[in-house]
Structure formats: structure tokens, C-alpha cells
Amino acid sequence: MSFHILSPGPQAMLQAKPRTGLRHFGVPTSGPMDPLSFALANRLVGNQLSAPVIEITLGGFDARCDADMVVAVAGADAEVAINASPVSRHTALDLQQGDTLSITYPNAGCRSYVSCAGGFAADNWLGSGSTYLPAGVGGAGGRALRPGDVLRSSGASTSPAEPCATPLGYRPPMTESWALRAVPGPEATDAIADLFFNSVFRLSNRTSRMGGALDGGPISGLSHAAMPSAAVFPGSVQCPPDGRPFLLMADAQTTGGYPLIAQVIRADRHLMGQIRPGDRVRFLRTTPEVAADVLRHKTALFEDWLEGPFHLG
Amino acid sequence: MTDSLDVRFVGDDSLRIDGLSRGRRDGWCFDLQAQGGWVEIVPGRSSVTVQFDPLEILPEDARRKLVSLENQVASVVAPTPDPITIPVAYGGDYGPDLDAVCEALGMTQDRLIDQHTSNVHIVDFLGFTPGFAYLYTDQKNEIHVPRLDGPRQRVSIGSVGVVGGSTGLYALAGPGGWPIIGRSPMKLFDATSTPPSQLASGQKVIFCAISADTFKDLAE
């Protein structure tokens, strides 16, 4: 079976499981920006939850299939259609040979995930099929999808899945105003932390899979003294002397030297991938102990439906 | 547990030990690797950060596990292979911050380039992005400048940056916060090679100044 990309929209690429354990070589984690929607998309078509899927940023996506196939769409609140007839997100979709699947610019949220039964075939680099654009590795030739690209399923084409839909309670809500729980970072003084957690930000247009600048604040009062470069992660908030913090995401660099003033907790990192430039972002202060508890509860909740290993960030 | 070890949480799933000498940092990395169970072990300039899965070990237990190694960690000295030479075109379009760096330091361009090319640099650790190397020098080094006030959105592939007495090599294009003094045409990262990075911790490096024309010849 093959899937012909007619329009990838602003940016679409293959993402699979994260590339872990390699940050000391400068190799970022990559993987889906919203790992929860990624797992939900795979669940609908009966895949392993880490099978390669298409990550679509801000819609504008059209693709045609050349054989019958089962697909599903999760993630941003966008309109999904088969041959221009509306269909549901969070539902396994039976595509017939020649059908065109379309995903519009989202009403809310930023990224859509398209899974296919068997998983899309992706280039493996250092143990993962995830695309990492800066190094040109993984996915489909290490690059974003282009019109004319043809993706193939890596698994055997399966018979039409039994009707499958994500139960309503498991569909992550999309919004234009996000609250992320975070722990103050090692470089945050009490005053900096107070200022940061009381500020409302907007995600700027200077946003990529590496991270995004946060408009708001500014967070002033940080030392200009050179600090020694140290590890940063997806979810790290760094603040340079100009007072404009930036939030690091899936392709985050592995080390950095701007003050690390906050770290988004693991349980909430999946939300980062759905923040659209212009959306409001607030950070809610918590502690490592509370965060571990939140992670346990949130994971247990989704495990009931996902029934396999997945990660929230 | 002693009071001397500076351990701090980075969020709910990472812990950072600060204030480490180079040898002690490398010793920690070695022993943490041997201890096992950590998702990531990431060296920094004077730190080691470990990441763990809070579903498998609670944050406070992870902290105890980390600190339990304190009395056994020994310093490690990385081997330092013979130097390799990396050609660099300094200044102009290749080093857009060279003028500002020289001005901040009160050095002429010639003197700065002379010092940067006569010193032997050693790869301290890898990090940031694939192929990026942090280098230090034990020789006389006056090139101490802070990071840019805000990061550049795009630094060219091969760029040579300086911060706080260190040199950084950008093996890939992308955002970056180091003042850029030059650029090398040498390919420092190749995804199809094993290992993909030209440089490893401990590698000695000598920079040699080349002209813009030579840069273009070598880049072809």
C-alpha cells in the first residue's frame, strides 16, 4: 500500500519513538511533539504505540491512498475529510483505493497525527525512525514531506479494523490558552520564579520543533555573568539576558548556557506540541514530588485505554 | 551524604550536580553509567545531569541513589590523542561577531586570531546538537566573552564561537547564542559515519587561519 502526499501543509514529517540515551553525544530526543496524541493515533489502528506516524503542523494536508488502508487522525482540533466529506477525528477510517484524506488548519491546537495500520516505513537512525531535520536523519530521507512523496506501510496490510474510536474521556481537549505545570529551575532565584510564574506569555512565531520564544514578561533581573553550559531537556525554560524566555521542545538541544529558570513536568510535556504561535501560555508552580504523583495518575488513566507502553513527555 | 555535594532538581525527572572539576565530572559520568538505571547522563562544563523515569523511581529516591555514589567516585583523565588541525576563516561574513568580540576585549583582530590559532585546544565534552564540541585550552587565553544577549535564530554550519574562554564548534546549522568569530569548511558531522561526530572528548585540536578563497576551495 502507498500513501501519496499531495500537500504536506506548512510542515509534515514522520515521527516515531524518541531517541533516548544519546544526549551526551549531542543527539536530541526528537519523536512526536505531542506524544499522547501520537500514541492515541496508533492505538486506533491497532499498532504498537510507538509506530511511525505523520506529524502535521497547522493542517493544510492532503494525501491519496493507492490501496485500501485503515488510518486514523488524532491531535489538533482540525476538520478531517475523505474525498471532501467530513469524518471524525479519533476514529479508525477505512480508506478505499483512490480516496483522498484532508486535514484543515486547526480550530485549536497545532499538530495532527495520522497513523496507518502497520505503521509508515521510516529511515532508522540510531535506533529510531523519528525525523530530526537539523541533521537530515530519520523519517523520509531526513527531511520534511514534500508534494509527490510516497509513503509505504511497513507492516502487512490488515483487514479492516473493527469499528474503533477513542472514548470521549480520553480525547485531549484543545485550547488557545494553556497551563503547564513546572518546577523552578536551578538558576531561578525566588524573585525570578515569582515573576515567571505570575507572567502570562504568548508563544511567538519564532517557534520550531527545537522550541519557541515566549512573548511576555520580560523576565528581568537575571545575571549576565557567563554560566557554565549544562544539560537542558524538552520542557526546559531558559532565559537569556534580554529577558525573553524560550521553551524547549522535542528537538531541544542537549546542553545550553542561558539560565534554566523552570522545567515543565514530564506529565504535561505532551501539551507543548499543541501550543500554536499566538496562544496564551501560563506556568503553574509545583514540586518534583507532586509532579511524580501527577505523572503516575495521568499515566494510569490513559493506560486503561492505550493498553501498552507510551510516554507523556 | 555530605553538605559539599551541590545537587539540584531540574524539574521532576532530572538531577544536576554542579561545581565539578573536569576529572571529577568524567568520574561521575563513568560511575553513573556503571550504576545503571539512568535514562540520560549528560556532562556539562562543570556539571553532570542525570534524567530518570519518575514512574520507576521517585524523585527523592533518585536523589538518594545519586548521592550514594559520592564516596566512590574517582577522577578520570580522558586520553588526549594527537591534535587534528581544523581550518577556520576568521571574521567577515564567516565570523560576524569578530569585530564586537575584539572591541569588547580591546584586542586587535590579528592578536585574537594569533592567540586562537597558536593555542592547543582540547575537546571538553560533546553536547548541544549532533557534532557540536566544547573545547578548552590550558594555555594563555584572553578570549573571555559572554553569550549574546539573545540567541541568533540561525548560525551557519561550521561556525566557530567563543564564550567564557571556551570555543564551540557548530557542526550543524541552527539557532545559537555564542558570538561567532569564524567558520570552518570541515565536515564535523556525518550521519552515515560511525561515530557520526569527527571529534570526541579529549581530542586535541589546532585551528589554522585560512582565507575566504581557501574556505571556498575547501568547501567544494
Consecutive H or E run containing A205? strand A201-207
Contacts of B173 (CB under 8 A, 6+ apart): A134, B154, B155, B156, B157
Q: Which residue from A132, A255, A286 is facing B42, i.e. has the nearest CB?
A: A255
For residue A227, the tally of other CB atoms under 10 A from its CB is 23
> pTM here?
0.95
Nearest residue in chain B measured CA to CA from A256: B128
Q: Are B109 and B102 in contact (CB under 8 A)?
A: yes
Contact by Cβ (8 Å): A262, A182: yes
pLDDT digit string (tens) for B57-98? 999 999 999 999 999 999 988 788 899 999 999 999 999 999
- B58 and A185 in contact by Cβ < 8 A? no
Instruction: Pick A235's closest partner by Cβ from B8, B11, B149.
Output: B11
Q: Do A291 and B172 touch (CB under 8 A)?
A: no
Write out the three cell numbers for B84. Answer: 587534528
Per-residue pLDDT of chain A (313 residues; tens, 9 = 90+): 789 999 999 999 999 999 999 999 999 999 999 999 999 999 999 999 999 999 999 999 999 999 999 999 999 999 999 999 999 999 999 999 999 999 999 999 999 999 999 999 999 999 999 999 999 999 999 999 999 999 999 876 555 556 799 999 999 999 999 999 999 999 999 999 999 999 999 999 999 999 999 999 899 888 766 789 999 999 999 999 889 999 999 999 999 999 999 999 999 999 999 999 999 999 999 999 999 999 999 999 999 999 989 999 8
Window A:189-218, CB contacts with B under 8 Å: 206, 210
CA neighbours closer than 13 Å in the CB half-sphere of residue A24: 21
Nearest beta carbon to residue B55 from set A23, A206, A296: A296
CB neighbour list of residue B62: distance below 8 Å, 6 or more residues apart: B15, B50, B52, B54
Asked whether the beta carbons of residue B126 and residue A25 sit closer than 8 angstroms, the reply is yes
Question: How far does B76 lie from chain A, in Å, by closest CA?
Answer: 17
Q: What is the CA radius of gyration of chain A?
A: 19
Cell triple for A222: 537575571
Q: Which of A20, A125, A231 has its CB closest to that of B44?
A: A231
Taking CB atoms and an 8 Å limit, are A288 and B11 in contact across chains?
yes
Lookup result for grid cell 572528548: B201
pLDDT of residue B218: 92
φ/ψ (deg, to 5) at A121: -70, 135
Spatial separation of the C-alpha atoms in residues B121 and B134, rounded to whole Å: 10
Which residues are CB-neighbours of A280 under 8 A, at least 6 positions away? Answer: A176, A177, A178, A200, A201, A202
Considering only CB atoms, which chain A residues are within 8 Å of B42? Answer: 23-24, 231, 254-255
* B134 Cβ under 8 Å from any chain A Cβ: yes
Locate B66 and state its grid cell: 545519586
Give residue A161's pLDDT.
Answer: 54
Are the Cβ atoms of A26 and B126 closer than 8 angstroms? yes
Residue B135: count other Cβ atoms within 10 Å of its Cβ.
Answer: 23
Closest CA–CA distance from residue B79 to any residue of chain A (Å): 17
Listed residue (A247, A164, A157) closest to A211, CA to CA: A247
Cα dihedral across residues A21, A115, A310, A249: positive or negative: positive
Q: Which residues of chain B have pLDDT under 50?
A: 1-2
**Which parts of chain B are beta strand (E)?**
6-9, 14-18, 40-43, 48-51, 84-90, 121-126, 133-137, 152-155, 159-163, 166-169, 174-176, 180-183, 204-209
Contact residues, A window 17-76, toward B, CB-based 8 Å cutoff: 20-21, 23-28
Taking contacts as CB-CB distances below 8 angstroms, the residues of chain B near A302 are: none
Take residue B50 and report the three cell numbers written for it: 542525570
Q: List CB contacts of A123: < 8 A, sequence separation 6 or more.
A: A129, A137, A138, A139, A140, A141, A142
CB contacts, 8 Å: A234 with chain B: none
Is A292 touching B (CB cutoff 8 A)?
A: yes
Choose among A100, A67, A69: nearest CA to A82. Answer: A100
Distance CA A68, CA A133 (A): 31
Instruction: Report the alpha-carbon distance of residue A66 to residue B68 in Å, rounded.
Output: 59
* CB-CB contact of B130 with B117 (8 Å): no
**Rounded Cα distance, A88 and A198, in Å:** 38
CA distance B197 to B194: 8
| Res A159: pLDDT | 53
Q: CB distance from B55 to chain A under 8 Å?
A: yes
Interface test with B, best of A143, A254, A263 (most B CBs within 10 A): A254
**Separation of alpha carbons B35 and A207, rounded Å:** 38
Nearest residue of A to residue B9 by CA position? A186
DSSP strand pairing (B204-209 vs A11-15): unpaired
- Could you say which of A185, A253, A266 has the minimum Cβ distance to residue B13? A266
The dihedral sign for the CA sequence A121, A125, A131, A135: negative
Asked if B41 is an interface residue toward chain A (Cβ–Cβ < 8 A), one would say: yes
Grid coordinates belonging to A233: 531537556
Structural Rg of chain B based on CA atoms: 19
First-to-last alpha carbon distance for chain B, in angstroms, is 56
Of A228, A241, A265, the CB nearest to B12: A265
- Picking from B44, B127, B191, the nearest residue to A125 by CB comes out as B191
B153–chain A Cβ distance below 8 A for any pair:
yes
**Chain B residues in contact with A296 (beta carbon < 8 A):** 54-55
